[in-house]
Amino acid sequence: MTKEQFITQFKKRLSEKYAMGVEDASPTELYNTLGSLMHSAYSSDRHHTWRQYLLNKQKQAYYFSIEFLPGKLMASNLLNMDWLETVEEGLAELGIDLADLTEVEQDMALGNGGLGRLASCFMDSIASCGLPGNGNGIRYEYGLFKQKFIDGHQVELPDDWLSTGNVWEVRKDSKAVDVCFYGQVHLEEDANGKLKPVYKNQQVLRAVPYDTGMIGYKNNIVNNMRLWSVEIPNSEESKYRSLEERRTIEDLTAVLYPDDSNAKGQMTRLAQEYFFVSAGIQSIVRYYHTLKEPIHRIHEYVAIHINDTHPALCIPEFMRIMLDEEGMSWEEAWAVTLKVMSYTNHTIMAEAMEKWPIDMLKQLLPRIYQIIEEIDRRFVEETELKVHDRSIIDRTRIINHNQVHMAHLAIIGSHSINGVAKLHSELLKTVVLHDFYSLYPARFNNKTNGIAERRWLQLANRPLSSVLDKTIGTSWRDNPEDLQQLLNYQDDQKVLNALAAAKRQNKENLAALIKKTQDITVSPDAIFDVQIKRLHAYKRQLLNLMHIIKCYQDIKNNPDSEFYPRVFIFGAKAAPSYAYAKTIIKCINETANLVNNDPDVKDRLKIVFLENYNVSLAEVIIPAADVSEQISLASKEASGTSNMKLMLNGAVTIATLDGANIEIRDAVGEENINIFGITEQEVYDYYESNTYSAVSYFEKDPVIRRVLEAFIDGTIPNIQSEGREVFDSLIRYNDEFFVLRDFESYVKAQEKITECYKDKRKWQKISLINIANAGVFSADETVKRYADDIWQIEPVTEYSSKKG
């Protein structure tokens, strides 16, 4: 498409849609016009891709995830369609800035954090690698809450993201399916002597799919992300007369992660899990039948991926359909289920290991519960023959202590179980899932996470991208590993200066945003030190805050001493019911108030906690970062992915040996990363010996003592109860995440960073080395490994595309 063609089509579409000319249209109208034009253009590719898969009977993967976090889609769709430059220039000619239009788009935030964002990075990469893979999830009416700070406290507001419409989705009424809940079930013999379930009093709900095209990077492949929304079926209308009754049904897909502190919320969450699983699997099986292949070969055409345990009901639901609807025997059904299913674990935190009370599952999903019981019974029977030590059965069976263990179900019913970074996958085998590893060693494997480098570099960081183009050519845009060529310029002062100038521009951009949104003035000359991730005790934002307080106290004690200016930037949401995380937010905000307004500090220290951290904000923060904070307690962060995004944008990492930080160290070399803190082995040794004493650090280290006292002696105002809570968590409850143990080495690593930053040339070189080595973390490479080792799917070939 030429620029002229674009302009003509754009004006025509605007006139058709709104009966308007460019001069009269609002940014929203212009945005919708462009979106609709793009949608029409890629729809034929979507159709063509689908036809190819169908005609080739290609094996397809289905990524089941209760969360997807794509952020905004317009710019990345334009990039992948290869329209970006043409559209930008065409719009400019019409006096329109594309950035003003993308501003209008609401973030699609149907996820909490890393897990949901990973699912979306994978969607982009699967399509970009030409792989036949689809997403399956929930179309939440409200996305992740919008975060506001009121008096330093987090307040959650609803994210009504659909209120302005969604140009990317297509409602597919004809593909709706029924999903059934509650009621009673018993088995009866049919005419052929097979046992069949007979249901009474079921609640039937309608699952309506909304499809969003997942556009591959310049390859004309458009895959599908199918999100399900609940409705009351016509046949059931009469049952729900009052508004309230209708609302309880609609609640099913209303919010992401309903408050599960009460039974009603828990039931909604469990119903959500079954809803998208059942709808997704029914639609896969329906599609499979159009291929006219025998049902017992379904694993040759279908791979289902269980992203964390939330979709683990895929296993009994698939069994149900194979048994009750396809008439398979248990043995046949189990054999195909195992071949179809695979599972990724994203955490070792015990409290995140999902379990459901038996009574709840039985009540909501009586047939599914029967099937889980039988899977469990057979597992026990089979395992008894294999092991000497019976206690292993107690620890691994699905149903135990009145609860259904979803991770156990996912492991027992999948042929592949993977962790998300080398260390994490090792810990799964040796510690967390050791019993399962001893039963099924061949199922365990690692797939280190990756990121959509197109979004996080090409789109988010235009200044850096253009320096890269001028220095090493443009091949890195297709093949991120070509960033390695930058290593040839590590001593080239001209290139280093150009990289520094790009960073400067990004910092000015972020400084402007900080001024606009928080009314805080920060200088781009300062070190921009960034910690962006969910607020969680194990991620240790508190360690960061303690170091900041130490810096503040040093300045106060010695106001004329030299202190290299730093801006500490935070972005983080706390789960609404996670009180301690909210406490930390309050403490950071109050410290910010104190420090930012203290005339003694003279702008040498600034603390900025940006409200409502989300994908779009990340796209502004990450390119501007000098320092990347990856400071979780070793062993706790499964992988992390902001660590990869920040490295790709030239930030220098300060990190513990946790998650993918270890692989980042291996990629850049020890001297180009700042490692501190105890190792995962030391953490486990402490657990075993029970010898950690936080109070002894408080007693023997005057710096720690002084910092902690600031939480309770009024130094930081307005945190009377919060400060005490933090103090107690460390001293009274013995500091679960070893913050005090790692404090000294963290401070030293920070001092090293400051010294290094002062040596501009050295810093720039380290930054360059980080950018150059970030290509290995491209999600394209990660999904190829999933495709080869787990899903056994292949890209569309030239030959078959001609056939299609």
Where does 108-233 have alpha helices with state H?
114-128
Active site residue 355: no
Please pick, among 226, 539, 566, 582, the residue that the annotation labels catalytic. 539
CA atoms within 13 A on the CB side of 757: 23
- Asked if 72 and 107 touch (Cβ cutoff 8 Å), the reply is yes
Catalytic choice (86, 641, 653, 782): 641
- Does 778 interact with ligand F58 (rule: CB under 6 A)? no
Q: By CB under 6 A, is residue 633 in contact with ligand F58?
A: no
Contact call for residue 428 and ligand F58 (CB under 6 A): no
| Phi, psi angle pair for 204, to nearest 5° | -105, 125
- The stretch near ligand F58 (CB under 6 A) out of 107-115, 228-236, 373-381, 397-405 is 107-115
Contact present, 558 and 602 (Cβ < 8 Å): no
Q: Is 637 in the site for ligand F58 (CB under 6 A)?
A: yes
Name the DSSP class of 151. Answer: T
Q: What is the DSSP letter of 107?
A: P
264 is catalytic: no
CB of 789 to ligand F58, least distance (A): 17
Q: How far apart are CA 792 and CA 302, in angstroms?
A: 9
- We find the least distance from the C-beta atom of residue 307 to ligand F58, in angstroms, to be 9
Looking at 669-787, list the stretches that DSSP marks H as alpha helix, in order from N- to C-terminal side: 680-689, 694-700, 702-712, 720-731, 739-758, 760-772, 779-785
Active site residue 533: yes
Decide: helix, strand or coil at residue 137.
Answer: strand
- Report d(CA 407, CA 64) in Å as an integer: 15
User: Which helix (H) or strand (E) covers residue 390, if one does?
Assistant: none
Residue 360 or 387 having the CB closest to ligand F58: 360
Among 90, 133, 216, 659, binds ligand F58 (CB under 6 A): 659
- What's the min distance (Å) between Cβ of 465 and ligand F58? 25
Applying CB under 6 A, which of residues 253, 639, 770, 773 lies at the interface with ligand F58? 639
Query: Judged by CB, which is closer to ligand F58: 425, or 764?
Result: 425
The contact mask relative to ligand F58 for 513-552 (x = CB under 6 A, - = no) is ----------------------------------------
Q: Is 292 in the active site?
A: no
Nearer to ligand F58, 120 or 672 (CB): 120
Pair 66, 137: CB distance under 8 Å: yes
Segment interacting with ligand F58, rule: CB under 6 A, options 114-122, 130-138, 239-247, 565-573: 114-122
Residue in 113, 143, 311, 366 binding ligand F58, rule: CB under 6 A: 113
Contact predicate 344/119, CB 8 Å: no
Q: Does 449 bind ligand F58 (CB under 6 A)?
A: yes
Q: Which residue has the tokens 């997403």?
A: 135
Per CB under 6 A, does 115 bind ligand F58?
yes
The whole-angstrom separation of Cα 747 and Cα 121 is 34
Q: Which position's Cβ is nearest ligand F58?
A: 114
Q: Alpha helices of 716-759 — where are they, by DSSP H?
A: 720-731, 739-758
> Which residue lies nearer to ligand F58 by CB, 367 or 539?
539
Q: If DSSP codes are grouped into helix, strand and coil, which group holds residue 41?
A: helix
Which one, 89 or 736, has the nearer CB to ligand F58?
Answer: 736
Q: How far apart are the first and last CA of the chain?
A: 23
Q: Is 539 a catalytic residue?
A: yes
Sign of the Cα torsion 624, 595, 585, 751 reads: positive
| Residues 323-352, mask of contacts with ligand F58 (x by CB under 6 A) | -----------------------xx----x
Whether 641 is a known active-site residue: answer yes
112 counts as binding ligand F58 under rule CB under 6 A: yes
Q: Per rule CB under 6 A, is residue 91 in the interface with ligand F58? A: no
Which residues between 560 and 619 bind ligand F58 (CB under 6 A)? none
Among 133, 135, 280, 640, binds ligand F58 (CB under 6 A): 640
* Binding to ligand F58, residues 402-421 (CB under 6 A): 420
Nearest to 345 by CA among 223, 458, 437, 439: 437
Tokens of 667: 């990629």
String marking each residue 363-402 x if it binds ligand F58 according to CB under 6 A:
----------------------------------------
Q: Label residue 54 exposed, middle or buried (CB < 10 Å: 0-12, 13-18, 19+).
A: middle
Q: Is 209 in the site for ligand F58 (CB under 6 A)?
A: no
Q: Pick the stretch among 111-119, 142-150, 474-482, 751-759 that binds ligand F58 (CB under 6 A).
A: 111-119
What's the chain's Rg over C-alpha atoms?
A: 27
Binding piece for ligand F58, criterion CB under 6 A, among 389-397, 452-460, 631-639, 693-701? 631-639
Looking only at the bridges linking them, the beta strands covering 444-446 and 527-532 are unpaired
Asked if 139 touches ligand F58 (CB under 6 A), the answer is: no
Interface segment toward ligand F58; rule CB under 6 A; list 465-473, 484-492, 639-647, 756-764: 639-647
553 contact partners, CB below 8 Å, separation of at least 6: 706, 707, 710
Where helices occur in 519-674 by DSSP H, the ranges are: 541-557, 579-596, 615-621, 642-648, 661-668
Half-sphere exposure of 51 (CA within 13 A, CB side): 11
Catalytic residues: 346, 533-534, 539, 641, 645
Residues that bind ligand F58 (CB under 6 A): 112-115, 118, 257, 346-347, 352, 420, 449, 637-641, 659
